[in-house]
Amino acid sequence: MKLVQLFGYGVAGKSYAVTRQRRLNCYYEQRQDSDKTQMAIYGTPGLVFKFSVATPFSTPIRGFLGTQSALYLIAYNQFQSVNATGGVLASGTLNTTAGICSLAFNSNQVVIADGANGYLFLPASNSFSLLPAAFPNGARTVTFVASFFVAEQPGTQQFFVSNANDGSIWSGLAFASASSYSDNILAVDNLSGNLVIFSQQHMEFWQNIGATPQPFAPILSAANEFGLAALFSRGHVNQSIIFLAQTREGQVQFVQVTGFNAAVVSTPDIDSIINGFSTTSDCVALTYETDYHKMYQASFPTANRTFLYDTTTGLWSEAQTGASVAPTRHIGNLSAYFAGQAIISDYQTNQVYTLSPTAYTDNGATIAREVITRHILSDFNRVRISQVYLDMETGVGLASGQGSDPQIMLQYSKDNGRTWSGERWVSIGMMGKYLTRVLWRRFGSTRDATFKFRMTDPVKFVITNGALKIAERPT
């Protein structure tokens, strides 16, 4: 047999003839010592039920914020401070019942913006109240940066600033205007102690210079021409912010901001896919870390798709809950960090989950793992493929039930991945059957082949390499 570079970095997008590759619910890990492989493929972590949020209706969570002592969340019109088991420590009532909310925290206050009003929660006294009219009502976002709470005034270039370390006091004089371009502010954020202003067609960075009545001044040379395409696509990960940006030419791309530098991280194929969606403004992101891989996950509710970006390797894949062959979205919607864990909310229900690399379902729902290979060819000569071998972690079967004799499926294509053969299933080994060989035979001859591997059993998924028994044939 011959080792073949089956797995690459592409994502099928603009043309199947260029690449038909796909990675679903898995990620690559580059191995520095190249012991058995230079690149291993691991399954993404599953979701484990943590608790259900107590609200009048089983509606999805609208906002999340985690601190050392409590998890703050909003569901329907209820603000809640909860403990690690979901027990309600304190609550309050908002004037809205739908739409994602923004929460910001200093050492002793939580400020909430729900797109209509601003609210203040004091953990020390468990008091919840409406902020005064000087708060920019209608703000969709709020952040805490350099000792001040900041919120935008919708439909304008202005943002307003609270008193120092006091989100209860907002002055009508403590405001400033984005100055680099004439478009309106959409969101405010904090990165490395600097205020980040997201506008329709550009970004600005401001720093605290100690001025009054508001302390921030722009860093003029740091502005760039990436507008914010989706308000809640912003995700903090790996000391950066990743968001769905809109260029001045009208295209949408994923951009990562590190320091004052903004760089496009989506590929031409990812860009081709998302620019084909009818709606991108509803993109919502969550972030998490598995092992040392820091992940940014973006879902498009209208398009029903989810994409996963590994900031450690710079590679894109897809995420999905359920066994559907057609692409669908992942159930994760929002994330927060609390008590040393990533907390994930469900986009359909009031349930909250934690992530676990040893959980092989999403709260009982199937996680389908799928990898589609590179094009396999030999200078476009006709070749005969008599055997395909997949080197995997085998013998991972469960004691009983589905997964007791786990199976992996192969399909192949000889027309650039446009059509596929019938499914061919083989075992990856019952519990303890570590010498199981995962292989398929008799594929005939072709000038170009691609292979699809798919597994739906709830067991550990690790691929190290692949090999073919291949021979050239006269054309």
Q: What six digits make up the tokens of 48?
A: 């484990």
Same domain, yes or no, for 309 and 377? no
> Does residue 240 have a pLDDT over 60?
yes
Residue at 77 is within a domain: yes
pLDDT at residue number 138:
96
d(CA 29, CA 293): 8
Residue at 458 is within a domain: yes
Report the percent of the chain where pLDDT is more than 70: 99
Query: Which residues, in sequence order, are CB contacts of 326 under 8 Å at separation 6+?
Result: none
pTM: 0.96
**pLDDT tens digits for range 335-362:** 999 988 899 999 999 999 999 999 999 9
Domain range for 462: 2-44+370-472
Supply the CATH number for residue 22's domain.
2.60.120
pLDDT at residue number 395:
97
Same domain, yes or no, for 158 and 109? yes
d(CA 290, CA 186): 31
**pLDDT tens digits for range 181-196:** 889 999 999 999 999 9
**pLDDT tens digits for range 291-325:** 899 999 999 999 999 999 999 999 999 999 999 99
pLDDT at residue number 331:
98
CA dihedral 51, 52, 55, 61 (to 10 degrees): 90
The band of 378, judged by pLDDT with boundaries at 50, 70 and 90, is confident
- CA distances for 166 relative to 79, 108, 110, 236, 358, angstroms: 20, 9, 10, 24, 43
Same domain, yes or no, for 39 and 132? no
Same domain, yes or no, for 52 and 23? no
Residue at 232 is within a domain: no
More confident residue, 33 or 385: 385
Q: What six digits make up the tokens of 9?
A: 């970095």
Query: Is 222 strand, coil or helix?
Result: helix
**What is the arrangement of strands in the sheet containing 118-122, beginning at the earlier edge strand?**
102-105, 110-113, 118-122, 127-130
- CA distances for 78 relative to 81, 82, 117, angstroms: 10, 12, 14
Same domain, yes or no, for 81 and 197? yes
pLDDT at residue number 475:
57
CB 337 within 8 A of CB 343: yes
What single-letter amino acid sits at 19?
Answer: T
Expressed in angstroms, the distance from the first to the final Cα of the chain is 22
Same domain, yes or no, for 311 and 417? no
Same domain, yes or no, for 201 and 75? yes
The tokens 């259900």 sit on which residue? 52
pLDDT at residue number 179:
80
Same domain, yes or no, for 354 and 374? no
331-365: burial string, b at 16+ Cβ within 10 Å, e else: bbbbbbbbeebbbbbbbeebbbbbbeeebbebbee
Domain count along the chain: 3
Strand 71-75 and strand 365-366: the pairing is unpaired
Residue at 314 is within a domain: yes
**pLDDT tens digits for range 111-151:** 999 999 999 999 999 999 999 989 999 999 999 999 999 99
The band of 106, judged by pLDDT with boundaries at 50, 70 and 90, is very high
Same domain, yes or no, for 121 and 140? yes
CB 81 within 8 A of CB 123: yes
Same domain, yes or no, for 251 and 351? yes
Query: Which residues, in sequence order, are CB contacts of 277 under 8 Å at separation 6+?
Result: 300, 302, 303, 305
Quick one: DSSP state of residue 270? H
Same domain, yes or no, for 332 and 432? no
Residue at 233 is within a domain: no
Among 79-88, 138-147, 231-240, 391-400, the minimum mean pLDDT is found in: 79-88
What single-letter amino acid sits at 360?
Answer: Y
What's the chain's average pLDDT?
95
Same domain, yes or no, for 140 and 250? no
Residue at 15 is within a domain: yes
* Count of positions (residues) in the chain: 475
pLDDT at residue number 340:
86
Distance from chain centroid for Cα 239: 15
d(CA 290, CA 365): 20
CA atoms within 13 A on the CB side of 308: 27
Q: Which helix (H) or strand (E) holds 24?
A: strand 22-24
Residue at 316 is within a domain: yes
Quick one: DSSP state of residue 233? G
**pLDDT tens digits for range 51-74:** 999 887 889 999 999 988 899 999
More confident residue, 420 or 474: 420
Given 223, 253, 288, the domain boundary residue is 223
The band of 474, judged by pLDDT with boundaries at 50, 70 and 90, is low
Supply the CATH number for residue 148's domain.
2.130.10.10
Residue at 269 is within a domain: yes
Averaged pLDDT for residues 144-164: 97
Given 165, 195, 223, the domain boundary residue is 223
